[in-house]
Amino acid sequence: MRIFKNKMFFKWAKSEGLTDLILRKAAEEIGQGLIDANLGGHLIKKRVARKGQGKRSGFRTIVVFQKDYRTFFIYGFPKNQRDNINDQEEKGLKKLAQDLLEASDRELKEMIVNSDLYEVGHE
Domain residue limits, the chain: 2-119
Q: Sort strands 2-6 and 37-40 into parallel, antiparallel or unpaired.
A: unpaired
Q: For the whole model, what pTM was predicted?
A: 0.92
- CB-side exposure of 63: number of CA atoms within 13 Å? 30
Alpha-carbon span 46 to 34, nearest angstrom:
8
**Tens of pLDDT along 75-115?**
999 887 887 899 999 999 999 999 999 999 999 999 999 99
